[in-house]
């Protein structure tokens, strides 16, 4: 008799992640993961007390992926890189993005970076010098609203076909410049 194949905790998390990527986080079940790795449910319960613990491990993996994307230098502009990372995540992980953003669940707060870390990333660019933390937070919020809407329109196919990733980044960058310019005018007392 051949020895039974051993499955590591990482193998199990990867299988559960693939299920989440294809079907959504709430589609993860112990049985589906066992089927995906070709085993009984025993290896899953050896590594995780229940399906919620496994889902939390998948959410940690999603958080790590989004952090890695946030740290990637897509342009010379650290603030623009935040938006590009968000757009790229939505495009590459459409089902997860839809699940995290559009479904009424608490998963999104577990994978989103903190505002304080995003503000620190924004401060790395000279374009935002001279703004207070409160003003930077306002700029960030406005761009999050725009980027989220743009991502939703993209993943649901509501944008014209000619909207390539490059075009989306161009629109994102232009809107960011407009929001920053308006914040500068407001700061100077030239805009209500």
CA distances (Å), 75 to each of 30, 78, 81, in order? 41, 7, 6
**34 or 1, higher pLDDT:** 34
At 192, is the pLDDT very low, low, confident or very high (cuts 50, 70, 90)?
confident
pLDDT band at 125 (very low <50, low <70, confident <90, very high): confident
Report pLDDT for 111.
Answer: 77
What backbone torsions phi and psi does residue 94 show, to the nearest 5 degrees? Answer: -55, -45
What's the whole-number mean pLDDT along residues 141-157? 96
Mean residue pLDDT across the chain: 92
DSSP 8-state class, residue 106:
S
Tell me how many degrees the CA angle 21-80-63 measures, rounded to the nearest 5: 30
Average of pLDDT values for 110-123? 88
| pLDDT single digits (tens) 139-148 | 999 999 999 9
pLDDT at 166: 96
Query: Do residues 125 and 78 lie in contact, with contact meaning Cβ atoms separated by under 8 Å?
Result: yes
**Interacting residues of 185 by C-beta distance below 8 A, sequence separation 6+:** 191
Do residues 92 and 66 touch, judged by C-beta distance below 8 A? no
Residue holding tokens 């194949």? 5
Task: Count CB-CB contacts under 10 A for residue 134.
Answer: 8
Model-wide pTM > 0.85: yes
15-64 pLDDT, tens digit per residue, is 999 999 999 999 999 999 999 999 999 999 999 999 999 999 999 999 99
% residues pLDDT > 90 (the chain): 82
Residue 3 predicted with pLDDT over 60: no
Please tell me whether residue 113 adopts helix, strand or coil conformation.
coil
* Paired tokens of 188: 């100077």
């Amino acid at each position: 008799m051949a020895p039974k194949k051993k499955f590591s905790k990482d193998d199990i998390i990867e299988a559960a992640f693939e299920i989440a990527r294809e079907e959504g986080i709430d589609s993860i079940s112990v049985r589906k993961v066992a089927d995906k790795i070709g085993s009984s449910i025993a290896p899953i319960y050896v590594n995780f007390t229940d399906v919620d613990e496994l889902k939390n491990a998948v959410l940690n993996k999603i958080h790590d992926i989004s952090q890695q994307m946030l740290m990637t230098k897509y342009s010379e502009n650290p603030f623009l890189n935040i938006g590009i990372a968000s757009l790229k995540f939505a495009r590459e992980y459409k089902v997860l993005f839809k699940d995290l953003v559009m479904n009424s669940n608490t998963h999104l707060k577990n994978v989103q970076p903190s505002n304080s870390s995003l503000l620190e990333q924004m401060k790395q660019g000279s374009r935002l010098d001279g703004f207070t933390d409160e003003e930077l937070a306002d700029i960030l919020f406005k761009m999050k609203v725009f980027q989220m809407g743009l991502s939703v329109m993209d993943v649901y196919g509501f944008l014209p076909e000619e909207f390539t990733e490059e075009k989306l980044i161009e629109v994102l960058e232009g809107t960011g410049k407009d929001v920053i310019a308006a914040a500068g005018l407001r700061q100077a007392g030239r805009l209500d």
